[in-house]
Amino acid sequence: MSQDPEDLKRAAAQAAAELVADGMRLGLGTGSTVRHLLPAIAARGLRDLRCVATSEATAAQARELGLPVEAFEALDALDLAIDGADQVAPDLWLVKGGGGAHVREKVVAEAAARFVVIVDERKVVPALGAPVPLELLAFGLPATLAAVAPATVRPGAPPSPDGHVIADHHGPVDDPAALAARLDAVAGVVGHGLFAPALVHDVLVARPGGVEHLRAGGPRS
Ligand SMILES: O=C(CO)[C@H](O)[C@H](O)COP(=O)(O)O
């Protein structure tokens, strides 16, 4: 029997909330799965948490729930970061950025000693595919789009939290490392939504039968 995707997201979020401990410096992702995470963390009643948020939406919800959010200028490392994803491949390459916050999300994931991804089973794919979200400088935008073709500005997308243009790459993702390197080589690309397995420590996949815990062999695990 199929299960409401919101119930599955909530189950993954609940499992991740149990990884949060008193005194942690915690990175909070963005998206509908993270929206279930924040009340689950708040309900734990932990003391001395220090949180950074990857979007204004997450910061606002966290503050409403009484979770202390500070600027990421105030912390130089995080103990744990938890975030959703749009696609999870079997080798734990991810595509993120459906919500346009992927650059901040990657900064937070890189700063965390442990990066935990929370998804429902629909996000687990046999191989990554388009679109791959991009964050681009407005300066020289047509030239940058040509350099990363095929890519288009995402219709109706607001600027990123740092004021950049959100776009999507529509080409194949047969070799995520090669595509990531190609995108990283273009100066007008602020960032992209391909997250390498080395960044990922755990993926919690909610299925109707329970939450599956995938562990990555990243360098910090
Ligand atoms: O990368 C993201 C935002 O930039 C989100 O984590 C991703 O889009 C998944 O979102 P959701 O939990 O709503 O499916």
Q: What is the ipTM of this complex?
A: 0.99
Tell me if 170 sits within 8 A of 134, measured CB to CB: no
| CA dist., res. 121 & res. 164, Å (int) | 31
116 and 151: one domain? no
Looking at the DSSP bridge assignments, the partners of residue 172 are: none
pLDDT of residue 217: 64
Using most ligand atoms within 8 A of CB, pick from 36, 86, 162 the residue to mutate for ligand 1: 86
pLDDT of residue 1: 52
138 and 57: one domain? no
pLDDT of residue 197: 97
pLDDT of residue 144: 98
| CA dist., res. 204 & res. 213, Å (int) | 5
Catalytic residue at 105? Answer: yes
The larger pLDDT score, comparing residue 155 to residue 221, is at 155
Task: Output the CA torsion 99→103→105→110 (10° steps).
Answer: 160
55 and 159: one domain? no
| CA dist., res. 168 & res. 203, Å (int) | 24
Q: How far is the CA of 119 from the centre of ligand 1 (A)?
A: 9
* DSSP single-letter state for residue 173: -
CA dist list (Å): 14 to 17, 37, 214: 5, 6, 16
| CA dist., res. 219 & res. 137, Å (int) | 31
For residue 89, the enclosing domain spans 5-125+196-210
99 and 203: one domain? yes
The larger pLDDT score, comparing residue 135 to residue 218, is at 135
CA dist list (Å): 8 to 14, 117, 120, 216: 10, 14, 5, 21
Over residues 149-168, the mean pLDDT reads: 96
Q: How far apart are the first and last CA of the chain?
A: 36
Mean pLDDT of all residues belonging to the chain: 96
Q: Is residue 215 part of a domain?
A: no
Q: How far is the CA of 99 from the centre of ligand 1 (A)?
A: 5
* DSSP single-letter state for residue 124: B
- Name residues contacting ligand 1 (CB within 6 A): 29-33, 83-86, 96-102, 105
Over residues 150-154, the mean pLDDT reads: 98
95 and 136: one domain? no
94 and 148: one domain? no
- For the cut 80, the answer to whether the pLDDT of residue 25 exceeds it is yes
Phi then psi for residue 22, to 5 deg, are -50, 140
- For the cut 50, the answer to whether the pLDDT of residue 219 exceeds it is no
45 and 144: one domain? no
- Note the pLDDT tens digit of each residue in 38-87: 999 999 999 999 999 999 999 999 999 999 999 999 899 999 999 999 99
Percent of the chain whose pLDDT exceeds 70: 97
Task: Annotate 157-167 with b (16+ C-beta within 10 A) or e (fewer).
Answer: eeebbeebbbb
Domain count, the chain: 2
Tell me if 29 sits within 8 A of 105, measured CB to CB: yes
Catalytic residue among 70, 73, 105, 121: 105
pLDDT of residue 161: 87
pLDDT of residue 2: 66
* DSSP single-letter state for residue 187: T
Q: What is the pTM of this model?
A: 0.96
Going by pLDDT thresholds of 50, 70 and 90, the confidence category of residue 220 is very low
